[in-house]
Amino acid sequence: MRRRRLCGVLLAGTLALTGAAASASDGERRIYGGSEAAPGAYPWMVALVQSDKASNLDGQFCGGSLISPTRVLTAAHCVEGSSPLEIDAVVGAYSLGAGDGARTDLTAIATDPQYEERFHDIAVLELAAASAAPTLPLATSTPIAGDARVIGWGLQENGDSPSILREVDVPLRSAADCRAAYGTEFDEGTQLCAGSKGKDSCQGDSGGPLVVSDGGGGWLEAGVVSFGSECGKASSPGVYSNVSALSSFILDPAPEFAPYTDAAPHVSGKARVGAKLRCVPGQEVGTVQSRKIVWVVPGPPGDRANVIALPKARAATYRVKKVDAPFRRIGCRYAVGNGGGFHDSVSRLVPIRK
């Protein structure tokens, strides 16, 4: 089974984290078939990018849609395990290479409380500043026939990864078609089935909108790109989270946003062999029931120490070993949890001196 995302949020060139920082091998999906969208056609389109990447093109990993001036709708698996500090939203993005659109920080992430692997694969992101861009209205009923449109950035049939936003029209398929392809992994009550031979969402489109006509020249968001199997294959249509079926969570005025730290932790002390380093986290936001600090050294065997701090603990130490020196750098990862998983804030790695 293949996920429809390019990759999770990675600390480029440094740490590969769990959760949204999954590797590309977990099944990426991007637009397959279709053509370039017209500039300005989808002003509510959002590109999710790694916050530590200056280039939108280099940092883009999922899509989303602006559903209110301060909220973005996307897939839960795009942001699972991530801190808002790790993700920026580019509202109104069109050419990732040109750097257009308004790039905005996130302040909070909420995933559907019933999210589990491929079910209820939906999340709402809170923007740090309100956007003036038009918003995408949500469908209030489930479309059952006709064509829909998927929008995103991604690999084409020839393997190229364009920077220009692309679109493809896909036929809505019966629930029976997706049950035949995915068995119990398809839930008719909360998911939609769409796609045909040569036309599909594919690697990198996760979280992006599946839209249908509103009958007056505009669009309604009917689905969110979730998962699928082989791109563009008639026997394996794309699966989309059904927006109207999940509207109670999407439209909740006060969803349960996950706790996070609003500033990355930092390593204090001289990073020399034999020296003791201290990891000090930033300020916490939200309800925190537990904390975890993990010291990280790039290269095998990976994490060198995992310090589980007590609820009142606010720092953890680590003594640099000779075996760490060949890897040259060390850092710390600080996570807070509220019973629904941990959410990370990660320090920059510091060089180890012999």
Q: Catalytic: 343? A: no
Show the beta-strand stretches assigned E in 56-153.
Answer: 60-68, 71-74, 87-91, 102-111, 123-127, 147-152
Q: Do 246 and 112 meet the contact criterion of CB atoms below 8 Å apart? A: yes
Burial of 135 (0-12, 13-18, 19+ CB in 10 A): middle
pTM score of the predicted model: 0.73
Q: What is the CATH number of domain 147-244?
A: 2.40.10.10
Identify which of 31, 123, 85, 73 has the alpha carbon closest to the alpha carbon of residue 335. 85
Identify which of 156, 138, 239 has the alpha carbon closest to the alpha carbon of residue 204. 156
Non-local CB neighbours of 218 within 8 Å, separated by 6+ positions: 137
Q: What is the pLDDT of residue 305?
A: 60
Q: What is the pLDDT of residue 85?
A: 76
Could you say which of 131, 206, 244, 347 is catalytic?
206
Q: What is the pLDDT of residue 300?
A: 53
Burial of 183 (0-12, 13-18, 19+ CB in 10 A): exposed
Q: What is the pLDDT of residue 347?
A: 73
Q: Rounded to 5 degrees, what are φ and ψ at 339?
A: 95, -15
The domain segmentation of the chain, as residue ranges, is: 2-25+41-127, 147-244, 260-351
Q: What is the pLDDT of residue 207?
A: 93
Could you say which of 52, 77, 226, 345 is catalytic?
77
**CA distance to 30, 53, 90, 235, per residue, from 155 (Å):** 6, 20, 20, 20
Element of type H or E holding 77: helix 76-79
Q: What is the pLDDT of residue 336?
A: 75
Could you say which of 88, 121, 187, 324 is catalytic?
121
Same topology for domains 2-25+41-127 and 260-351, yes or no? no
pLDDT values of the chain reduced to their tens digit, one per residue, 354 residues: 445 433 223 222 222 233 333 333 333 334 566 789 999 999 999 999 998 889 999 999 999 999 999 999 999 999 987 778 789 999 999 999 998 999 999 888 999 999 988 899 999 999 999 999 999 999 999 998 899 999 998 665 556 666 899 999 999 999 999 999 999 999 999 999 998 877 877 777 889 999 999 999 999 999 999 998 877 788 889 999 999 999 999 999 888 787 766 667 878 888 888 888 888 777 777 767 777 777 777 655 555 566 655 555 667 788 888 877 777 778 887 777 765 556 667 776 778 876
Q: Are strands 166-171 and 147-152 parallel, antiparallel or unpaired?
A: antiparallel
Token duo for residue 170: 């896909």
Q: Catalytic: 229? A: no
Q: What is the pLDDT of residue 102?
A: 97
Q: What is the pLDDT of residue 27?
A: 37
Domain 2-25+41-127 has CATH 3.30.360.10: no
Q: What is the CATH number of domain 260-351?
A: 2.60.40.10
Non-local CB neighbours of 75 within 8 Å, separated by 6+ positions: 4, 5, 62, 121, 122, 123, 206, 207, 224, 225, 226, 241
The position carrying tokens 């006709």 is: 146
Q: How many residues does the chain have?
A: 354
Q: Catalytic: 121? A: yes
DSSP β-bridge partners for residue 138: 221
